[in-house]
């Protein structure tokens, strides 16, 4: 078994590390100051400015195919990049990305939605969750009723990332309520100008999702993504994509936080000696590294399976469950090692503490990942030791 990275993967990782050091790290004090004032870490202009700078040296559209001007990177390299970005709490992502399911668009839709989204001229959001349908996404109620050659969408979506800024939404709606969401839902490309509205949801972390409201929003049939009845398949593809990238970021956050804790433990003195001299502190450091490295291997293995073309779902669920739990435990220990300082808003630790709590909830909660793992094993889709 080969655990090494290719020269190209190493070069890309090092370039991103350099970018983080030169472009993101200097902005960190301002991000914390803004956080204390309840403002986003970067304005949209600052984000697009940084993305343009990164594009200048070729970092644009990590997952975007080369024919669309992207890098078309393999999954392992993307995971490495997300880990590097996780090492800074400046909320940056490289530009040039579009939702994976937009590639299922027809030619006209590609020109109207896919290409401008890649270019950053349009902002999308993906909406399946509803007030009555989160983990149980098949319970969605937002309905699209046919009306001539149009559809009328009515209902509510909630917790939608980018929902405040998006100018179009990919909406999963019931088109055949009797068949239920699995066979009777459809994905629609719905411009905000068609009539949906949004309202922000205040959360405990930097994430600012929105509720979206649809009251007889008229959508032409030409705005159906894929085929009528394929909504569930597209939704599962969308949700599945990030499963190894969220824990990849978690690994980066944990690396940075643990490094801070090690430095602090060596310099903070109590009872005449550095706190690092205490076994209680040493064990927190050791356990954190152990869990971090285990999560890293699960992430890279899931990404590697994506690259080999094998079914990565079971491995991705393990990576997500492990990475989300790991980063919550590590950040909690890092906060504990910093004592009262860890609890202040002078340091980024309490911000991570609030931010990473989300990792156990979105794109499939811990419990849903466990459900997937157990179901695969009990039904024999996966055998112990062969996952
Ligand atoms: C910041 C943020 C961003 C988000 N972005 C998006 C987005 O862009 N698009 C989108 O569509 N959605 C988005 N979501 C929604 C997210 O995917 C859901 O919140 C998530 O799936 C959980 O659903 P829920 O909140 O309704 O919790 P529920 O499903 O109500 O679950 C509540 C609790 O019960 C547990 N539970 C539920 N069923 C079971 C079971 N059978 N066995 C054991 N335990 C169970 C859950 O694990 C959880 O702990 C976002 C959420 C947040 C918080």
Residue 364 CA, closest ligand 1 atom number: 21
Query: For residue 385, what pLDDT is reported?
Result: 87
Residue 131 CA, closest ligand 1 atom number: 26
Which residue has 């080969």 as its token pair?
Answer: 2
Q: Which of 362, 370, 371 to mutate to test the pocket of ligand 1 (most atoms within 8 A of CB)?
A: 362
Query: For residue 387, what pLDDT is reported?
Result: 61
Report how far residue 301's alpha carbon sits from residue 244's, in angstroms, rounded to the nearest whole number.
9
Contact by Cβ (8 Å): 116, 177: no
DSSP-assigned letter for residue 24: I
Q: Is 226 in the pocket of ligand 1 (CB under 6 A)?
A: no
* 296-309 pLDDT per residue, tens: 999 999 999 999 99
Q: Which has the closest alpha carbon to 302: 387, 216, 361?
A: 387
CA end-to-end span of the chain, whole Å?
Answer: 16
Give every residue of the chain whose pLDDT is below 70, as ranges.
1, 387
Residue 346 structure tokens? 């002078």
Q: Which has the closest alpha carbon to 295: 248, 330, 231?
A: 248
Residue 142 CB coordination number (10 Å): 22
Query: For residue 221, what pLDDT is reported?
Result: 98
Residue 387 structure tokens? 């996952």
**Which residue has a Cα nearest atom 2 of ligand 1?**
159
Query: For residue 2, what pLDDT is reported?
Result: 73
Q: Which of 201, 355, 361, 369 to mutate to test the pocket of ligand 1 (most atoms within 8 A of CB)?
A: 361
Residues 6 or more apart in contact with residue 308 via CB below 8 angstroms: none
Residues 6 or more apart in contact with residue 159 via CB below 8 angstroms: 129, 134, 201, 209, 211, 362
Query: For residue 242, what pLDDT is reported?
Result: 77
User: Catalytic positions, please?
Assistant: 363
Q: Which has the closest alpha carbon to 186: 223, 158, 132?
A: 223
Q: Is 180 in the pocket of ligand 1 (CB under 6 A)?
A: no
* 224-262 pLDDT per residue, tens: 999 999 999 999 999 988 799 999 999 999 999 999 999
């Amino acid at each position: 078994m080969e655990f090494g990275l290719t020269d190209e993967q190493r070069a890309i990782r090092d370039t991103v590390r350099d970018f983080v050091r030169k472009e993101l790290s200097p902005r960190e004090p301002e991000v914390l100051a803004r956080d204390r004032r309840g403002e986003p870490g970067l304005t949209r202009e600052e984000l697009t400015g940084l993305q343009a700078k990164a594009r200048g040296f070729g970092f644009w559209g990590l997952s975007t195919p080369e024919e669309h001007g992207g890098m078309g990177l393999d999954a392992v390299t993307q995971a490495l990049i997300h880990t590097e970005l996780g090492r800074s709490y400046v909320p940056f992502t490289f530009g040039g990305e579009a939702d994976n399911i937009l590639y299922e668009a027809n030619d006209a839709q590609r020109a109207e939605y896919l290409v401008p989204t890649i270019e950053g001229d349009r902002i999308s959001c993906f909406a399946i969750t509803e007030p009555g349908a989160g983990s149980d996404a098949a319970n969605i109620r937002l309905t699209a009723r046919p009306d001539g050659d149009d559809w009328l969408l009515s209902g509510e979506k909630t917790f939608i990332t980018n929902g405040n800024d998006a100018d179009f939404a990919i909406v999963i709606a019931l088109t055949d309520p009797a068949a239920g969401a699995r066979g009777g839902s459809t994905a629609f490309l719905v411009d905000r100008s068609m009539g949906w509205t949004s309202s922000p949801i205040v959360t405990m972390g930097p994430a600012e999702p929105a509720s979206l409201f649809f009251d007889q929003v008229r959508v032409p049939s030409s705005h159906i993504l894929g085929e009528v009845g394929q909504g569930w398949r597209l939704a599962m593809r969308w949700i599945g994509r990030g499963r190894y990238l969220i824990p990849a970021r978690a690994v980066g956050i944990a690396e940075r936080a643990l490094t801070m804790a090690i430095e602090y433990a060596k310099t903070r003195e109590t009872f005449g000696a550095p706190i690092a001299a205490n076994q209680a502190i040493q064990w927190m450091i050791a356990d954190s590294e152990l869990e971090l490295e285990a999560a890293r291997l699960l992430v890279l293995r899931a990404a590697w399976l994506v690259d080999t073309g094998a079914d990565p779902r079971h491995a991705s669920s393990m990576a997500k469950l492990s990475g989300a739990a790991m980063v919550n435990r590590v950040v909690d220990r890092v906060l504990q090692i910093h004592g009262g300082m860890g609890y202040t808003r002078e340091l980024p630790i309490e911000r991570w503490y609030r931010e990473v709590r989300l990792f156990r909830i979105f794109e499939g909660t811990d419990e849903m990942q466990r459900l997937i793992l157990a179901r695969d094993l009990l039904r024999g889709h996966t055998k112990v030791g062969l996952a």
